Structures are given as structure tokens and as C-alpha cells.
Amino acid sequence: MFALNMALRVKIFEVSVGHPLAILNESDARAMGILPHDRVKITHGKSDTTAFVNVSETMVQPGEIGLFEDVSKEIGVKDGDEVTVSILKPPRSIEAIHKKIKGETLSKDEIYAIIEDVVKHRLSDVEMAGFLLAEEFHGMTMEEIEYLTRAMAETGVMIDFDRPVYDKHSIGGVPGNKVTLLIVPIVAAAGLLIPKTSSRAITSPSGTADTMSVLAPVTFTAEELKELVEKVGGAIVWGGGTNIAPADDDLIKIEYALKIDPRSQMLASIMAKKLAVGADCLVIDIPIGPEAKVEDMAEGRKLANQFVELGERLGMRVQCGLTYGGQPVGHAVGPALEAKEALEALQGKGPSSLVEKSTALAGILLEMAGLAPIGGGKDLAKSILERGKALEKMREIIEAQGGDPNVKPEDIPLGEYRITIKAQCDGYVTGVSNMAVNAIARAAGAPVEKGAGVIVYWKRGAKVKKGDPLLEIFAERESKLSEAYSVATRLRPITIEGMLLQRVPSFP
Amino acid sequence: MFALNMALRVKIFEVSVGHPLAILNESDARAMGILPHDRVKITHGKSDTTAFVNVSETMVQPGEIGLFEDVSKEIGVKDGDEVTVSILKPPRSIEAIHKKIKGETLSKDEIYAIIEDVVKHRLSDVEMAGFLLAEEFHGMTMEEIEYLTRAMAETGVMIDFDRPVYDKHSIGGVPGNKVTLLIVPIVAAAGLLIPKTSSRAITSPSGTADTMSVLAPVTFTAEELKELVEKVGGAIVWGGGTNIAPADDDLIKIEYALKIDPRSQMLASIMAKKLAVGADCLVIDIPIGPEAKVEDMAEGRKLANQFVELGERLGMRVQCGLTYGGQPVGHAVGPALEAKEALEALQGKGPSSLVEKSTALAGILLEMAGLAPIGGGKDLAKSILERGKALEKMREIIEAQGGDPNVKPEDIPLGEYRITIKAQCDGYVTGVSNMAVNAIARAAGAPVEKGAGVIVYWKRGAKVKKGDPLLEIFAERESKLSEAYSVATRLRPITIEGMLLQRVPSFP
């Protein structure tokens, strides 16, 4: 209703606050019918931009508009310049978000409008929260998820290879899951293309990008990723540097703040990244366990079917592996410890849980490529590993990414402050807690301090004697070691049958 | 997990961004395990405060922390001072919000924790959005609503009178609803206490506080409100100035951005204000109509029962009046026009829709006070009005609030730019659109320009002749008049039976 324009004098605040913000004097805001959170269009000469409004009685005088760096740089204004300000109709995506909040199904255009506005920072955090919570509460049809996936891929860089592309993804939640460092070289050694983008840890002790960064740089553009893969067949890079499916970065921050993980958004987020690298065949690792993201097999099968269906809609062949997620994969948790264990496994000296899982998942891709008969993929993957071909390929990948191809496991620096926790009685290990292992490794400094982490010596079913080492904590600083030790004492990451669970009263 | 403290040098940004914000260099944030949106505790000498974190590579150097005015003033630091920064466990209210998002029922303590943190600005907009959307999607039990109401009241100023307190509230959504300006003086003239707080318009052409401000100042503290009411029995003040139930201010901004109005929040928000002024008897006006907040009688009865039940839990007697909300109340819409019409009604020259509705609602309060038998309240209210007692009381109230007690309706300045829209054919008026009348009045400049607004000459059922005036628009500026006129032409606020609804093709 208020199409009124106002000419205002710019007052610059030399700082960015993470989103485009303009400050209006209360009287000007009232005169234009503008409320906090509303959007204004700010025009200066031939350039214009959108900003959100804060209203103040003191920070700017009537006739002034306060602009932060994000805005002032975009339209090239300095202190005292005059700009024209008008209230802006909310973008079309807002209406779509309100529809989704009411539980309606969105059209392709509406979903594209939302994702484009996320990428262009035209939505406030509150509006993005509205969209994600509406997804969480109402869900999305598979058609909506398809549009969401395509929109997220197409609003970023898309890569195109002239040969079929293979890829893998792990749902996450299980510590020590360094299978990518085996799968990528096995698959590439078989002559296939596998351009793997990975994330840094948000809440875990080491994301695959953190682990790989111990062996080689991981920050590359999408174009560089393409060159790497065309050269050596595979790469393991940090997705955050590539501008692939960039909407995800902003949405994940909101999900983290609200501790939600809407299924539709999870599916779209994973598949958009695969669509953007042009994946034709994809294997997805779904760990099942009480402390993993997926708690039981029925839920895992349902999720697997959703991935397969979404893949079909996107023209991608998807197979899912439901894997054991009840305890850490291998023994090592933390960037350097995991990189070391992966390198040892490539040398044929890996723990069986890591080797079996990696070759099983790699085998699925080899079968999808027609390189092995159904049921024969894992054997082929194992033979590639055992013949040293995967190690050879990994050294090529490390070299291509700018790391030392001759790195030896024993060269990798580990935290020098260490403490070993020992069994206090004889018995069988009945459980290793993912949650506790994660917490201890993070307390020790992982993933920021790469040498920090945990080695879990014995896992479920192992028979241990009193005094046997159960767990070793590595840290780069003494203060972090003692902190991690106190977390370990409190959380008791490993339980042994026959062990006293609690003593009552505690101090007899 | 990261209890690490860090000593950082303060860099001041001399501006407030509306919430406590601190900027950390990316490397420091990583070292402390801090993510954007996390909270930190900032300590300087003996004072400390909480801030939300933004992470930057350029705005602050490693070892520095950027602080905005909201934060720097609170702990009294200046450029170059050293502060200690540590990551803060999210407040307990966050966990409660996550529970509500999952659909769980909250305890009294959890709801109080949320509202306390809203008032103390310890929650981010995203977290408040999470809470409100969870209310919207999952609803709340009446027990939760009771706690929410009490928490909202108790976190602000509470007033205590030594006599029973009466109050009224209108749900809103209907233009021209100036009944408060009749009800308060009628009830006060009967010797009862009625400390009425009202809101300014957010999306309508005039809130009761806007209308009253034409006759007298409306900004008072809660203590001043008490004095006013103890002196003359009644007052009509702006709630926003009183610090009564202050949580509402921040929550309403988020609701407005998301276009949601969760029922539980609406009940609590209204009743908290009544609880805070110590209301014993309350009448609630629920207008029913296709363009009002409540669309049909069944929905209105449900809402009325919820108010009554919530009132019982709070020790408040509540009666609801379901009223006709299908068209504007009276004829005048806009601050000055409404104040004038109310004053005329107090002089015995009011339109019947306004007089009937006001005396019916006032009558309910008179009956609750035992001043009239059941069914006799309206007659008593009318007699107070007709004998000039309400006008006399209104003049006392205006004088007590600092206005001119001798103000005459014809003294009130109205917008000088006017245009009359006339009937284009003979026939009966079949409808007056609330939505269209609101839009025209706002386009004309209401509520910011007090003289702007609309007079609706004829309402549903009236017989009009071609050329009769239907609607007059008032504006303080010519540009606003022409804007409002174009809105009127587009929206056609009044429909006449027999009128051409559309001509096809438009230009024959």
C-alpha cells in the first residue's frame, strides 16, 4: 500500500553483520509504513539492492539511513551520499514459504523461487527457519523433493564429464568412518571416475574433508575438481570450497540452531551435490544403530527406498548399503589418526571392520559399472586393494591434490599428549558408545587440532583382561588431554560385561 | 566440550544491530569450537554478558573480538580492552524449544525459562521462530497455555488495585472498531475500575491507541496507568509503553514475519496483559465474519470457551460476546475520523451499529459487577450513555491523560484532501469489504497520518440511488489521496445488487 519513495542520506557502518541490513529512523519508518524485518529497495544511481530494516530512534537521524558494508559495497555508496528508499513487496518465495507453513504442496516454480532467494541472501533467517520447520512438520512429496534437489543443484556450479561418473555418500553419525579414503582409490583404480566432495565436521570429531586434509590440500573450485578427476580418476575435496549446491551452507546453519534434520532437506541436500557433479551411479552408506542417524533397519530400508526413488527421478542409479553403525568403524577417531589408519588399510594392514565395509561399498559401484557380476564386486574391490592398486591410486590422488605422495603412516604427526584407559575387570566388551567416543575426541581437540583423537582398542565382543588398554586419547595440548580424560571418566565409552555400572552410594 | 577460555582484544563497532552480536576471527572460532549462531560469554572485570557469534576472516584479526553497542555498553568496554571469551552452553530454554518442536508437552519450568529468555534477549530470532512454529503446528494444552500466560505476565510489570478490576478486549480484524472509547467511560462512569491498555496498528488503519492519541497522550508507564485509574476510574493507554507483558513485543515481530498467529500464543498474549493489570472480570469481543480473524460461529464459540477456561485457571471471570464482524463498525475508519465518531456517539449522536455493540459489551461488565440483573446490563449502559454520564467521564479521562477535556468533534482536524465515490446504479448494498476498507484507509496514510481514513456512508442492506455518495476518502497529502483512490477503484469496497461486477470485454 505504501509505494512512497524517500530520499535519505547514507551513514556508513564499517562492518558486515552477515546479512544485508539497513537502519531507519523510527519516524521515517512509520511514515513509509515500514516495520522491522520488512525489506526495502535502496537505489543509488543505476544500482539497487535489497536490505532488511532495523528501526532505531538514536542510531540514525530522521532523513538518514544506516548501511552496513554488505549493502554499501554492493551499490557503491559512501557517507553522505543520497539514496532512494522504498518499501519492497516481499519476494514471491515468502508467499511460498507461508503456503508450506500452512501445509500446502509447493509447485516447481515456488520451490525454485525459495532456493534462488536463499542463494541470493534475500531471505531472513526467520524465513528460512519457517521453510525448514514446515518441511520438518509437514514433509514433502517426492515430486517436491525432486524440485528441491534440482533447484539446489542448478543454483550452483554444475560439472559435466564425458564419461559415466560414480559417487558415494555416507549418511554419517558413526565415528571413524574413513571409508571414503579407501573407496575412492579402489573405484578410481578400476578405471572409473569418482569426483568426491566431502564436508568438514560440524558436530563430529572429523569430517572426511578434515581427514583427507591431513594427507593433501582439499580446497578446490568445481573446475579444479573436474581437472583432478580427469587427470587421475578420483579426488577427495572439501565441498564447501566448490560452490556446488551452495544453498545448503545457509540452510544447514539454521538446521543446526534448531536441531532439526528434515528428511526432505536431507535427501535433497545429498542428492543435489551428486546431481551437480553429474553422478550416474551412486552408492549410499546408511549406518544403522542406536546412536547413529538411523536407528533401526525398517527406518533404514524406508530411507534407502526414498534415495532410490529420488535417484530414478533424477536419472541416477542409486544403491544403498545398510551398514552396522552400532560402534566406530575401525579403531581410529580424529583427523590424523583416521588418515593413518586409512593409509595402513591401503597398505593391506587395516582393521577388518574398515576393510570389509569399504570393499563392500566399493564393490557395489564396481558391479553397477559392469566390472564385476552381481555379488562379485566386493571380491574385485578386495583384489584391487590387496594388489596395492588402491594404494598406488591414492598416492596419485594425493600428489594431484598437492600432497606428499610418498607419505608413510608413521610420518603422520599425532598428538603428543596421550593417556590410556585400561579395563578395570575381566570380561567381554558389550558396547562402545559412538556418542561418548565423539565427545572424548572433540574434547581432546578434534577436528581443529588434527593430531587429537581417540583409538578404541577393543570393540563389541572382544574378551579383555583387567589392565588391558581399552582406549587411548591423543591431544596436542595438556589442557585438552585432561579435559578429554574427564569426559571419558564421566561418559564411560566402553562397557564390559561384569563391570560395575554404578556403585551406590558412590562414596561408601 | 570446549570449555576453553580465550583472552581477546575488543574492537568496538559503534552501532546496535538489535541483538547482542560479537564477531570472532574464523581461526579463533575454530580453535574454540564455536560455530555461527553459538553463544559466548564475554567477561570484563566483574561484569559479563551473553552474545551471539558471527565469524569473519576480515572484520576482526585473530586475537580480536568485534563488539556492537548493545554488548559493549552492557559490560563497559572500549576499543583495545581485553575481555575473556568462552563458549556458552545454550540456555535451558533452547532444549525446551527443541522438545516443543518434537511435539512434546512442556513443563511449567520449561515455559517460564523460554519466556524469561525472550524478555532478556537471550534467544535468537530463529529460536523464537522455532518456538512459535512449534506452537502453530503442535498446539498447546490448556495447562501449557496457562503457564505461558503467567510467565508472560510475571516477566513484566504487574499492577495491583485494592478494588475489583474490569477490562475488555476485542480480537480485532474489523475496521472502525472504536468501541473501547465508549465502553471504558461507560464502565468507569458506573463506578468501576477499567485500566485499558491498547495497541497501535500493525497492519490495520488504526489501533485503539492510535485513535485515542487523537484526543490525549497515550504513552504512560504501568505506575502512571495505575494512578490514572485510581483517580478517574478508567484510562485508555498504549500497552507498548507500560512494560506490561513485554515478551509479546518480540514474539509478535516474528509472527508477523511468518504470517502465523498460533492460537495458544494469541490466548496467552491477550490474557497475560489482563492478568498483569489484575483484571477480575473481562469481556472479550469476538467479531465473526468472512474477513475477520474468526470466520464462523462454531470457531467463535470454540475460541470463546478457551478464553473462559483459561480465565478460570487464572482466577478471572471471562465472558465473550460473539459480534457481527462482516463489515466496519460505525462508518468512520482512521484515527481522527474514529475519534470524532466516538465523541459524537458519547454525545448521543452515534451510529446504531457502534452504540448497540458498545453498550452490549459494556452491559456484560455491568452485569458481572452486579450493577444490573442478567439481561439488564445493556439498558443500564445505554442509560449511562444517554444521560451524558459517559461523555462526562470521557472528558475526565482525557483531562487526566493530558488532553483537552473540552474537545468538540468538529474541532478534530481531518485530512483536507478528500474524494467521494458515488453509486453507479440504483440498488441495495450487498456487502462492504473489511479488507478493501482497510487497504484504502492505509493507502490514504492511516494510521501514521491521523487525519487520513475513510467514511463508509452506506452499509449492508441500505438502499442507494445512482449518484448517492458511498464512500469518502480523507488524506493529508494529495499523493496519498490519489493512491487511495486507485486502490478503491481496484478493490471495489462496496457492492450493490444489480451492479455490473465485470464487463467483458473490458473495452468494447
pLDDT in tens, A241-282: 899 999 998 999 899 889 999 999 999 999 999 999 999 999
Q: Is the same domain home to B426 and B284?
A: no
Q: Is the same domain home to B429 and B324?
A: no
The torsion defined by the Cα of B383, B388, B393 and B395, in degrees rounded to 10, comes to 150
pLDDT band, residue B190 (cuts 50/70/90)? very high
* Contacts with A35 from chain B: Cβ below 8 Å: 202, 253, 256
What would the pLDDT profile of A386-411 be if each residue is shown by its tens digit? Answer: 999 999 999 999 999 999 999 999 99
β-bridge partners, A50:
A41
Cell numbers describing residue B187: 464502565
Nearest to A258 among B1, B126, B483 (CB): B126
Closest CA to B309 of B317, B321, B297, B300: B317
pLDDT value, residue A3: 44
Q: Is the same domain home to B197 and B305?
A: yes
Share of chain B above pLDDT 90, in %: 80
**In the block, residue with C-alpha cell 534475500:** A122
**In the block, residue with C-alpha cell 583382561:** A465
pLDDT value, residue B504: 66
β-bridge partners, A11:
A66
DSSP A507: -
Amino acid letter, B70: D
* Contacts with A130 from chain B: Cβ below 8 Å: 129, 133, 257-258
| Cα distance between residue A487 and residue B383, in whole Å | 76
C-alpha radius of gyration, chain A, whole number: 26
Nearest to A101 among B33, B66, B258 (CB): B258
Q: Is the same domain home to B331 and B477?
A: no
Cell numbers describing residue B213: 492519541
| Cα distance between residue B202 and residue B225, in whole Å | 23
Is residue B19's pLDDT more than 90? Answer: no
Residue B31: is it exposed, middle or buried by C-beta count within 10 angstroms (0-12/13-18/19+)?
Answer: middle
Nearest to B18 among A54, A442, A443 (CB): A54
Per-residue CA distances from A350 to A22, A173, A179, A376, B93 (Å): 57, 21, 11, 21, 45
What would the pLDDT profile of B71-122 be if each residue is shown by its tens digit? Answer: 898 899 999 999 999 988 888 999 999 999 999 999 999 999 999 999 988 8
Q: Is the same domain home to B77 and B115?
A: no
Closest residue on chain B to A250 (Cα): B36
Residues A262 and A156: beta-carbon distance below 8 Å: no
Of B400, B429, B454, which residue constitutes the final position of a domain? B400
Give domain status of residue A491, yes or no: yes
| Cα distance between residue B185 and residue B359, in whole Å | 11
Closest CA to B170 of B342, B401, B369, B325: B325
pLDDT value, residue B3: 44
* Contacts with B448 from chain A: Cβ below 8 Å: 30-31, 33
Closest residue on chain B to A28 (Cα): B448
pLDDT band, residue B2 (cuts 50/70/90)? very low
pLDDT value, residue A16: 82
Asked if the interface predicted TM-score (ipTM) of this complex is over 0.95, the answer is no
pLDDT value, residue A365: 97
Give domain status of residue B131, yes or no: yes
* Contacts with A24 from chain B: Cβ below 8 Å: none
Cell numbers describing residue A245: 549446491
pLDDT value, residue B417: 97
CA angle A29, A33, A34 (to 5 degrees): 55
CB contact under 8 A, A136 and B487: no
DSSP A210: H
| Cα distance between residue B380 and residue B382, in whole Å | 5
| Cα distance between residue A200 and residue B141, in whole Å | 41
pLDDT value, residue B1: 39
The residue from B48, B70, B125, B261 that is catalytic is B261
Residue A261 is among the residues annotated as catalytic for this protein: yes
User: H helices of B401-477, where?
Assistant: 434-443
C-alpha radius of gyration, chain B, whole number: 26
Closest residue on chain B to A31 (Cα): B448
Q: What is the mean pLDDT of residues B188-199?
A: 97
Is residue B508's pLDDT more than 50? Answer: no
pLDDT value, residue A321: 94
- Tell me the shortest Cα–Cα distance from B254 to chain A, in angstroms: 7
User: H helices of A76-221, where?
Assistant: 92-101, 108-119, 125-138, 142-154, 180-189, 208-212
Is residue A37's pLDDT more than 90? Answer: no
| Cα distance between residue B86 and residue B472, in whole Å | 62
Give domain status of residue A502, yes or no: no
- Tell me the shortest Cα–Cα distance from B203 to chain A, in angstroms: 9
Please provide residue A137's backbone torsions phi and psi, each rounded to the nearest 5 degrees. Answer: -85, -40
Pairing of strands A82-88, A39-44: antiparallel
Q: What is the mean pLDDT of residues A460-467?
A: 91
Q: Is the same domain home to B312 and B372?
A: yes
- Count of A-B CB contacts under 8 Å: 120
- Tell me the shortest Cα–Cα distance from B268 to chain A, in angstroms: 22
| Cα distance between residue B131 and residue B94, in whole Å | 9
Count the helices and strands in chain B (H runs, E runs): 18, 18
Residues A196 and A168: beta-carbon distance below 8 Å: yes
Please provide residue A305's backbone torsions phi and psi, each rounded to the nearest 5 degrees. Answer: -65, -35
* Contacts with B479 from chain A: Cβ below 8 Å: 4
Q: Say which CATH number the domain at A462 has.
A: 3.90.1170.30
Strands, E, within A296-385: which ranges? 317-324, 332-333
CB contact under 8 A, A126 and B254: yes
pLDDT band, residue A1 (cuts 50/70/90)? very low
| Cα distance between residue B64 and residue B55, in whole Å | 12
pLDDT band, residue A496 (cuts 50/70/90)? confident
β-bridge partners, A33:
none
pLDDT value, residue B93: 96
Give domain status of residue A266, yes or no: no
Closest residue on chain A to B32 (Cα): A448
Amino acid letter, B500: L
* Contacts with A487 from chain B: Cβ below 8 Å: 1
Is residue A77's pLDDT more than 90? Answer: yes
CB contact under 8 A, B257 and A127: yes
Residue B503: is it exposed, middle or buried by C-beta count within 10 angstroms (0-12/13-18/19+)?
Answer: exposed
Mutation test of the interface with chain B: which of A24, A68, A133, choosing the one with the most B Cβ atoms within 10 A? A133
The domain in which residue A78 lies consists of 5-88
- Residue B176: how many CA atoms within 13 Å on its side-chain side? 33
Q: Is the same domain home to B179 and B318?
A: yes
Give domain status of residue B252, yes or no: no
Biggest alpha carbon–alpha carbon distance for chain B: 81
Mutation test of the interface with chain B: which of A13, A15, A490, choosing the one with the most B Cβ atoms within 10 A? A15
Closest CA to B314 of B376, B267, B262: B267
Closest CA to B18 of A52, A14, A117: A52
CB contact under 8 A, B487 and A98: no
Q: What is the mean pLDDT of residues A23-45?
A: 86
Higher pLDDT, B70 or B193: B193
Closest CA to B456 of B468, B470, B475: B470
Give domain status of residue B260, yes or no: no
* Contacts with B439 from chain A: Cβ below 8 Å: 1
CB contact under 8 A, A35 and B259: no
Please provide residue B168's backbone torsions phi and psi, each rounded to the nearest 5 degrees. Answer: -140, 155
Nearest to B59 among A15, A30, A59 (CB): A15
* Contacts with A72 from chain B: Cβ below 8 Å: none
CB contact under 8 A, B2 and A442: yes
Is residue B42's pLDDT more than 50? Answer: yes
B111's enclosing H/E stretch is helix B108-119
The residue from A48, A125, A261, A468 that is catalytic is A261
Q: Is the same domain home to B52 and B96?
A: no
pLDDT value, residue B14: 83
Q: Is the same domain home to B356 and B297?
A: yes
- Tell me the shortest Cα–Cα distance from B64 to chain A, in angstroms: 14
Closest CA to A176 of A331, A60, A1: A331
* Contacts with A260 from chain B: Cβ below 8 Å: 101
Is residue A76's pLDDT more than 50? Answer: yes
CB contact under 8 A, B36 and A13: no
Amino acid letter, B379: D
Question: CB under 8 Å to B176, separation ≥6 — which residues?
Answer: B328, B329, B330, B331, B332, B333, B338, B341, B354, B437, B456
Give domain status of residue A160, yes or no: no
Closest residue on chain A to B15 (Cα): A59
3-state SS assignment for residue B412: coil
Q: Say which CATH number the domain at B182 has.
A: 3.40.1030.10
pLDDT band, residue A503 (cuts 50/70/90)? low
Q: How many domains does chain B have?
A: 4
Nearest to A257 among B4, B127, B133 (CB): B127
3-state SS assignment for residue A79: coil
- Tell me the shortest Cα–Cα distance from B349 to chain A, in angstroms: 33
CB contact under 8 A, A1 and B487: yes
Per-residue CA distances from B309 to A316, B272, B282 (Å): 56, 14, 13
Higher pLDDT, B124 or B508: B124
Q: What is the mean pLDDT of residues B225-250?
A: 95
pLDDT value, residue A333: 98
Amino acid letter, A442: R
CB contact under 8 A, A1 and B443: yes
Give domain status of residue B418, yes or no: yes
- Tell me the shortest Cα–Cα distance from B54 to chain A, in angstroms: 7
- Tell me the shortest Cα–Cα distance from B256 to chain A, in angstroms: 9
Q: What is the mean pLDDT of residues B448-468?
A: 94
- Tell me the shortest Cα–Cα distance from B182 to chain A, in angstroms: 28
Pairing of strands B64-68, A82-88: unpaired
Is residue A373's pLDDT more than 70? Answer: yes
- Residue A241: how many CA atoms within 13 Å on its side-chain side? 16
Higher pLDDT, B353 or A498: B353
DSSP B59: S
- Tell me the shortest Cα–Cα distance from A350 to chain B, in angstroms: 30
Q: Is the same domain home to B329 and B361?
A: yes
Closest residue on chain A to B256 (Cα): A37
Higher pLDDT, B312 or A14: B312
3-state SS assignment for residue B244: coil
Closest residue on chain B to A131 (Cα): B258
CB contact under 8 A, B101 and A260: yes
Q: Supply the mean pLDDT for chain B.
A: 93
CB contact under 8 A, A125 and B127: no
Among A1-10, A112-121, A417-426, where is mean pLDDT lowest? A1-10
Q: Supply the mean pLDDT for chain A.
A: 93
Q: Is the same domain home to A81 and A97?
A: no
CB contact under 8 A, B129 and A134: no
Q: Say which CATH number the domain at A111 has.
A: 1.20.970.10
Question: CB under 8 Å to B373, separation ≥6 — which residues?
Answer: B367
Pairing of strands B463-464, B332-333: unpaired
Closest residue on chain B to A23 (Cα): B17
Q: Is the same domain home to A70 and A216?
A: no
pTM of the shown model = 0.89
pLDDT value, residue A377: 96
Q: Say which CATH number the domain at A46 has.
A: 2.40.40.20
